[in-house]
Each structure stands twice: as C-alpha cells, then as structure tokens.
Amino acid sequence: MAEHETTGEDVREAHLVTGAATTVEAADVVADGLPPDLDEAVGDGSLAAAVTGEPAAGPPRARRRDLMPSWSPKLVVGLVITGLIVLFAIVVPFFTLDPNSTDYDGLLKPGEQGHLLGTSAIGNDIWAQLAHGARGSLLIGVTVGVIALLLSVVFGIFAGYLGGWTDETLSLITNIMLVIPALPLTIVLAAYSSSRSMWLVAGVLGLTAWTGSAIVLRTQARSLRMRDYVLAARVAGEKSRRIIAVEILPNLLPLVAAQFLFGVIFAILGEAGLSYLGLGPTDAVTWGTMLYQAQQGSALTLGAWWWFVPPGLLIALLGCGLSLVNFAIDEIINPKLRNVPQATRRVRKAREREERAAATTEEAGA
Amino acid sequence: MKYDGRRVAFYAITLWAAVSLNFLIPRMLPGDPAQILLGKLARNGDVTPAVEKNVELILGGSDEPLWNQYWAYLDNIVHGDLGISVSKYPEPVWDLIKDALPWTLCLVGAATIIAFAIGIVGGAWIGWKRGSAWDHVIPFTALLQSVPYFWLAILLVYFLGMKLGLAPISWGWDVQTYDHPEWTWASVVDVFQHAVLPALTIVLSAVGGWLVGMRNMMVSTLAEDYIVTAEAKGLRPRRVLWVYAVRNAALPSFAGFAVALAFVVSGSLVMEQVFSYPGIGKLMITAVSNADYALMQGVFLLTTVAVLVVNFLMDLIYGYIDPRTRHHG
C-alpha cells in the first residue's frame, strides 16, 4: 500500500520502492553478496568501515569485500568535497575573526584589507561568518540526520519486521506525516517560538525528515523478514530486538547510510530555507542565517555578490558531495547500475577493436 | 474493491489528523497566539465580540473545555470559515487564499510538468546511451539538485534579471501599469514574462531528480530479458527504446510525478519570497512575519488538504496506469 507514496523530491527513493517488481530488490543484493567486480580495484577497507559500518556478525572476508564500495570516481570526488568542507568547518573557525564583530571602517566591501571575502552591510567579516556558519549548518545537519535515522529505523525497520498491528499503526503514522508538507509544518512550528536555539531548529527539522527513509526501510525489512536465516534465528528463539539488531540491520547498512546522508542534505537545505524566511536559529550563525541577513541588508539590489554567493555555493557543494557518495552507494545496492553501463562500454570497445583490426587487415591486403 | 476501501479510509484518517494537528499546534505550543492576535487587532480598531470569538475558535485562549472548542472548530472548518486575517484586516483568510492560489497553481504546476517532461525524455536518452559520454552528465545533476532553490532564484534575479535585464524580477505582473492582470493581450504577455524566472528556477532545480531517476530505471530495464528478446527479434532500435523500454522504465517516475503534483501548492514557498510572487508562499511568509496566526494556520491547512486531494486523485489514476499496485495492496 505504501508503494507509491514516496516523497516527490527524490525519485531515487521512488524507484527503490516502486521498482521492486522490475529491478533487483536492494535487499537481495545486499544480503546475498555482489558479483565480484573485476574491472575496478576494490578499496582497502578503511573506506568501507566509514561508509557502510562494520558488519556486526563478522562475516567471512569475501562477503566483507563485496559489501565495500569500489573506488569509483563519483565516490572519490564526493568524499573529497565532503571531507574538505567538514575540515573547513572544524579547523578554520579557530583562525578567523569573531563572526559577529563589526568593522565600521569596512562596510559592504568586497575582499580587501584583512577581510578575505569582504564585509557585510553591518561590517561582519564574511569569511568568518562562512566558517562559523559551516559549523552551525553541519551541526544542524548531522543532528537532524541522527534524529531522522533513529525515527526511520523505528518506524521503518521495526514496523516492517514486526508486521501485524504494530506495522499498521506505525505505517499509518508514517503515511500521515508523509502527506503533511514538511516545509509549511516546520514554518508553523518555528513561527510560534520567538527565540529559537539551534537545537530547537534541528528538532523541528528532524520531526519532518524521517518519513521517506522509513518507507524505504520498511519495504526492505519486510522482504528480509521471510528470509531463511531470519526464520532460523526466530526458530532458535532469538528475541525480535536481537534479530533486528544482528540479522536485519547489518544487511540494510548501505541503505541506512544512504538514508542518513539524505537526512543531512534535507536538513541543511531545510535550515537554509527556514532561516531565509527569518525562522532560523537565533543563537548561531549558519549558512541560512547569512543568506537571510544578505536579504535583509538588500545585498541583491546593492550588487554585493560576495555576500550572498559564498554561503549558497557551499551548501550546493556539500549537497553535491553527499549526493555523489549516495550515487556510489546506489551502485552498490543496485549492481545493474554499475554493471550494465560497464558491459555496454566493453562491448562497444570490443566492436571498435574488431573494426580497427578489420581495417588494418584490409589495408594490409591492399 | 478492498484496495479502494483501504485508500479511502486512509485519506479520511489523514484528513482528520491534519485538521486536528492544525487545531492542536497553536494551543499546545508555548506562548499565547490568540492574545497576541487580539492585541494586534485592537490596535487596528475596535474588536467586536464576534471577531474575538472567531479568533478564539481558531487559536484557542477561551475558557471553554478543549473538547467543546474542538467541536466548534470542526464546525467552522466544515463551513469554510478559517478566521480573519490581521495583516489584511478585515479580509477573511479564505478570500486571501482564494486570490493567491491560482498564481501558485499555474506557475508551479506548469513548471513541474515542464521539468518532468524534460527529465523523462533526457533520462531515457541518457539511459539508452548508457556507458557513453552522456553518463558523465549524471554527477552534474547532483550539483543542480543540491543547490538551495531559493539561492538559485537569487542568482537568476541577480545575473539574468538585474545584470542582463532579460526578465522582470518581482511580482506576478507589472504593478505600475496594471492594478490587476487583465484579459488583454499585453497584460497576458506581461504575466508570462513575470513567470519566466520563477519557472526557470523550479525547472532547473527539479529536472535533475527526474533525469537521474529515469536514467537509472532505464539502465535497469534495458538489462531485462524482454529487451534482449526484442533486440534479437530484429526490431528497430527506436521501437525497442520507446515501446519496450521507456514505457516500463517511466512507471516509477509517474508515481513520483503524482507526488510532485501533490506538493505543487507547498513546494516553492521560499522561491515566492525571492520573487515577491503573489502566490501561496508569499501569503504564508506575510502571515509569519506579521504574526498573523489565523492566516498561517489557514495556509498550512490548505497545503495539507491540497496534498491529500491530489494524492487521492493520482492514486485512482495510477491504479489504471500500473494495475500491479491494485493487487499488491
């Protein structure tokens, strides 16, 4: 019944859920191992631990190798972009000016005299705001990601595995939350509180961020529920909680990781939108509050591009990096995405080689 | 039949939940929105007991037991009474919504359809040419998708609107020439010109998702046995592409499209703020910045009901596009 109610913003989720009849089910692939990838070198394991987490039950080495993402260019670029921005958020704020300090000599100037990226209309240093904003935005993003992850595991995996009335109730709540539009709900919730801490904003966003993931996870958990090894664990008298933690969750890890990253992207974009409307955190600098101040200080009409371009650009870059990592995870979950284009490429190369060989023999003959 | 019964029950429960949420939020959260609103109203002039009663019905604050308030509130909603706006006193909330709704529906609806069409055709093409240089387009769509769409709107306003002067950058029509859009050729053209940048924003930020989704489904579909069979039969590639592959690969995208249509009303609130476009988003933001809680609650209720109604219609239609969904209930 939940098959075509996934969120519109993300078609990838829609295809994971609705495509069950036409595509390989993600759980099949994850649980049963991937065909070995001969063309690309497989990573050394440190990466897999970071992205997929360590499988809890300690599967044999071959299985662990299969779970690893291969070093596709998408993954490398995605990880590098994300890593650089995280590093920027951690390190740079120690070396900048106070983001709220004002410099009355340099109001609304492009980068010069000790201000790397220039100043805002009230003399804030943009570079300092950008660095501290990175911290704020990332903190909100990760907090929302964690909240959404926990909620989607409860409402998705528990519902899918336990079935029956628990499932009916939990999925009803999920589906109701899914159709209530997220942004208006967060706007309404945020509008009633006059001072908003960063954590309040994160909480409000977290309440609306989990539904899509819950539906994806529920479908997968439902298909894993009837697998032989899960049935065996149940017959052996394992408790449901343990089966979910040890048998189900590890097999869904790539999917869960992808959903977490979606949560982070959703949160950073959501925070930016909320802040742009003046409903962001009042106690912290984020990329969203920077854009809000730029709008309030009419940066657009004054042509102060150095004020409104950098925060949006960083949001876009971070989102892009995380999406690229997600694309790579997608190719693990659904190997057709990786193997089919490779196979076609190989066939085309072989054909070209044949033609070339034919041409050279013709030349030789002539 | 059982399937349809379940769906109807689900929509009924969700509608009830949304209305109840709308009732509870102003009453449960800290602060006293009803008092704030009445204070504002008093500044605008005399508050008649009827208005006071109306505000209390929507936002709470009266001494009546919650249960009685709830019934009175439901009664009001059923009669289409969403209260009175403060920022545009004394316009009823429902009238304001009625004026703003067509702007959002036409602009965002049209842009959503355009983005979907481009995404499906483009995605089908890239999927068909899988393994070629076209595959490298995919990572760039990630960038387009992750751009905050209101920031994209700001960039378009700055570069296309202000620097190059290609299109008007604010409002839904030329407010200096016309009081209201008219049914004259010049005025209609003017309205279209004002919609160019907002629509471009939506298309640019939405097309990437459709493109990737469709391309991925194409790649999966093209690996199916029936495609190999079709090729082995010697069918023309064009026929295999459009009749065998695209029709099947597009199904999930149509499901996504239904959802996207459902979120048309609520989908681009922030974008409307950038362009001061006179739609639902602008209305919501005006309500928030003026603490016009009745208007805010009204718009919130409308966005939810819009999602429900469109979802319901799409559910019925989708059952015919893809009969499998009716049996998988």
pLDDT of res. B262: 80
**Are both A220 and A91 inside the same structural domain?**
yes
Task: Tell me the pTM.
Answer: 0.78
Q: If 0-12 CB within 10 Å is exposed, 13-18 middle and 19+ buried, where does residue B271 land?
A: buried
**Helix A164-179 and helix B2-28, axial crossing angle in degrees, nearest 10:** 60
Contacts of B153 in chain A (CB under 8 A): none
**Are both A222 and A133 inside the same structural domain?**
yes
Number of domains within chain A: 2
A172 has a pLDDT exceeding 50: yes
In terms of CA atoms, which chain A residue is nearest residue B218?
Answer: A337
SS3 A85: helix
CB A314 within 8 A of CB A74: no
**Are both A126 and A109 inside the same structural domain?**
yes
pLDDT (tens digit, 9 = 90+) per residue, A58-108? 445 555 555 555 667 788 888 999 999 999 989 888 887 777 776 666 666
Nearest CA distance, B214 vs chain A (angstrom)? 8
Amino acid at A3: E
Nearest CA distance, A284 vs chain B (angstrom)? 20
Contacts of B220 in chain A (CB under 8 A): 19, 22-24, 334, 336-337, 340
**Are both A56 and A77 inside the same structural domain?**
no
Q: Cβ contact (<8 Å) for B29 and A14?
A: no
Q: Cβ contact (<8 Å) for A323 and B216?
A: no
ipTM for the complex shown:
0.83
**Are both A154 and A265 inside the same structural domain?**
yes
pLDDT of res. A29: 40
CB B215 within 8 A of CB A336: no
Q: Which single residue is written with the structure tokens 């899509």?
A: A212
Residues of chain B numbered 30-49 and touching chain A (CB < 8 Å)? 30-31, 33
Nearest CA distance, A314 vs chain B (angstrom)? 9
CB B24 within 8 A of CB A185: no
pLDDT of res. A282: 86
Q: Cβ contact (<8 Å) for A23 and B217?
A: yes
**Are both A57 and A38 inside the same structural domain?**
yes
B88 has a pLDDT exceeding 60: yes
Given CB atoms, is A200 within the 8 Å cutoff of chain B? no
More confident residue, A43 or B234: B234
**Are both A147 and A247 inside the same structural domain?**
yes
pLDDT (tens digit, 9 = 90+) per residue, B148-202? 888 888 888 888 888 887 778 777 777 777 777 777 877 888 888 888 889 998 9
Residue B122's pLDDT band (cuts 50, 70, 90): very high
**Are both A29 and A121 inside the same structural domain?**
no
**Are both A104 and A164 inside the same structural domain?**
yes
Nearest CA distance, A204 vs chain B (angstrom)? 13
Q: Cβ contact (<8 Å) for A188 and B307?
A: no
Contacts of A140 in chain B (CB under 8 A): none
Contacts of B142 in chain A (CB under 8 A): 319-320, 323-324, 327
pLDDT of res. B91: 80
Q: Cβ contact (<8 Å) for B219 and A336?
A: yes
Given CB atoms, is B142 within the 8 Å cutoff of chain A? yes
In terms of CA atoms, which chain B residue is nearest residue A343?
Answer: B131
**Are both A360 and A292 inside the same structural domain?**
no
A41 has a pLDDT exceeding 50: no
Domain that holds residue A218: 73-333
**Are both A83 and A30 inside the same structural domain?**
no
CATH code, domain with A94: 1.10.3720.10
**Are both A102 and A23 inside the same structural domain?**
no
